[in-house]
Amino acid sequence: MSTRNHHPRRSHGWALAAAACITLGLGAAACGKKDEEKKPAKAAAKAPAKPKTEAAPAISGIQVLDAAKKFFSPLPERADSATNPITPEKVALGRALYYDARLSKNQDIACNNCHKLDGFGVDNEKTSPGHKGQRGDRNSPTVLNAATHFVQFWDGRAADVEEQALGPILNPVEMAMPSEDAVLKVLKSIPGYADMFAAAFPGEGDPITYKNVGLAIGAFERGLITPSPFDDFLKGNVTALPPDALRGLQLFIDAGCTNCHTGPNLGGTMYQKLGSVKEYKTEDEGRFKITNNEADKHSFKVPGLRNVTRTSPYLHDGSAATLDDVLNIMAEYQTAKGKLDDDERRYLHAFLETLNGTVDEEYVRKPELPESGPKTPAPDPS
């Protein structure tokens, strides 16, 4: 999801043309009045002074902070879950499963293919390639900070990251495993996973279950939190954001972006219709596919904005290629403001840059995966 803002310089070509016209006019007058006494030539008209660039409006970090605290809060250190207690052993297992392509039919696609942990949790594709190169109809959102969202997927069909993690494995367009049993057959054929599941789920007679796959991956993903300068600002450091970022944050609030983008992730707290103030044409019916409720047509989960300048392309279908594209769309179709000028886009860019953070490299480093056993099924490209 670089910020390229070009401010065209005023052309002074018209001044040269004006001078040429004056010269030609004087020449014509001289030819028509040869017998008249020549008058002293007038001094050439001076080009008008270049208008001064208006200074950016003054901004108070303290006042902006007071306003921001009404809508946002710092990210938690970890997105804990009461139903999935996190342990080091469960996280280690989840990390391995996240990177293990043997959870896919042809053993060539892992969670990390579409949600790259060295690429801000995305693959920067409009839609992600799956089994046999198939592509779905929706953009793969970032996995970073996703555990702070109130639901998962664009249409909210999964309640949490534990449930979400299991969906792509069985999706015929994505990882394409034919059944839960097929997944468990692979995992139980890999000797090293026996000890890892036992350590992650102590006391269970048969810990290698499909549900536990989701619990382990979910436990790992709950640690994919990316604090940034914006969190320092929310905690009271008013110098954490530069002046243009403060202006962007104030604009973000004043324009009503906070009607949807709130909370620690600046989104992920509600559904919203795409085209709430002006009709936006999209064939995707959004949450309607899940609820069959007319009111949910073209409604999607509001995406979080953490790391948004690094997670292009944007929107549910990846149709907004650049950050400027999606800012313009949001201004026109989601707010009463209607459009943004160059300075406003620059301020918003500066603010959104302060939402960029990273996860500890050791936490996301690909582990050495347990070796396949003699009974591990071969890849199936069919």
Nearest to 220 by CA among 371, 82, 88: 88
Any idea what the Cα angle at residue 250 is, between residues 248 and 256, rounded to 5°?
Answer: 100
8 A C-beta contact, residue 278 and residue 85:
no
Nearest to 290 by CA among 150, 153, 142: 153
Helix (H), strand (E), coil (C) string for the chain:
CCCCCCCCCCCCHHHHHHHHHHHHHHHHHHHHCCCCCCCCCCCCCCCCCCCCCCCCCCCCHHHHHHHHCCCCCCCCCCCCCCCCCCCHHHHHHHHHHHHCHHHCCCCCCCHHHHCCCCCCCCCCCCCCECHHHCECCCCCCCCCCHHHCCCECCCCCECCHHHHHHHHHHCCCCCCCCCHHHHHHHHHCCHHHHHHHHHHCCCCCCCCCHHHHHHHHHHHHCCCCCCCHHHHHHCCCCCCCCHHHHHHHHHHHHCCHHHCCCCCCCCCCCEEECCCCCCCCCCCCECHHHHCCHHHCCEEECCCCCCHHHCCCECCCCCECCHHHHHHHHHHHHCCCCCCCHHHHHHHHHHHHCCCCCCCHHHHCCCCCCCCCCCCCCCCCC
Pull the structure tokens for residue 153.
């997927």
Q: How far apart are the C-alpha atoms of 216 and 197, rounded to whole Å?
A: 9
Choosing from 174, 204, 279, 368, the catalytic residue is: 174
374 Cβ contact partners less than 8 Å away, ≥ 6 residues apart? none
User: Catalytic residue at 174?
Assistant: yes
Q: Which residues are catalytic?
A: 174
